[in-house]
């Protein structure tokens, strides 16, 4: 657990009336998300912008699209890179690909960024 996440957990304990609840229930009660979920949410938004062409020059060749007509879900699947070292698992592209490929079709094929954000909130709603 990162330092910032520990600070957030500790600050949540200071809120009166919620001491008996678990960390996840306190977050839900206050309408907040864990830092891990906020990072994932931001990463998926950046991936959407890149894949829809908004920031193509900045990340030329960042993602590799899966070339298969047998994909379930949506047709915008991404290929996972392979790394020999564990440090590769922390790369932006590796963090995003697995979650991106699990998103429902209606989220990935959103017509605009605002619609994508709204649908992404719904899709990630059960993840704290």
Q: For the residues 38-57, what does the mean pLDDT come to?
A: 80
What angle is formed at CA 50 by the lines to CA 86 and CA 38, rounded to 5 degrees? 60
Q: Give the mean model confidence (pLDDT) for residues 22-39.
A: 81
Three-state DSSP class for residue 110: coil
Question: Contacts by 51-54 with C-beta closer than 8 Å and gap 24+?
Answer: 51/76, 52/113, 54/113
pLDDT of residue 128: 45
125 or 99, greater pLDDT:
99
Express each pLDDT in 70-83 by its tens digit.
556 666 777 666 55
Residue 80, pLDDT score: 65
Q: How far is CA 117 from each of CA 17, 73, 87, 113, rounded to the nearest angstrom?
A: 32, 19, 29, 6
10-31: average pLDDT: 81
Highest mean pLDDT of the ranges 8-17, 32-41, 54-63, 111-120: 111-120
- Tokens 């298969």 — which residue? 68
Contact call for residues 2 and 35 (beta carbons, < 8 A):
yes
Q: How confident is the model at residue 116 (pLDDT cuts 50, 70, 90)?
A: very high
- Mean pLDDT value across the chain: 76
Compute the distance between CA of residue 101 and CA of residue 44 in angstroms, rounded to an integer: 11
Report the pLDDT value the prediction gives residue 117, as an integer from 0 to 100.
92
User: Cα–Cα distances in Å, from 1 out to 6, 8, 22, 35, 115?
Assistant: 7, 11, 16, 10, 32
**In 31-112, alpha helices (H):** 35-51, 92-102, 105-108
């Amino acid at each position: 657990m990162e330092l910032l996440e520990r600070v957030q957990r500790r600050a949540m304990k200071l809120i009166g009336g919620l001491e008996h609840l678990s960390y996840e229930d306190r977050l839900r009660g206050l309408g907040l998300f864990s830092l891990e979920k906020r990072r994932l949410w931001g990463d998926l938004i950046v991936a959407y912008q890149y894949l829809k062409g908004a920031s193509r020059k900045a990340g030329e060749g960042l993602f590799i699209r899966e070339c298969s007509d047998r994909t379930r879900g949506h047709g915008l699947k991404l290929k996972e890179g392979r790394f020999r070292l564990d440090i590769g698992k922390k790369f932006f592209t590796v963090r995003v690909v697995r979650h991106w490929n699990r998103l429902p079709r209606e989220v990935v094929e959103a017509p605009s960024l605002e619609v994508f954000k709204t649908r992404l909130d719904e899709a990630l709603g059960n993840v704290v």
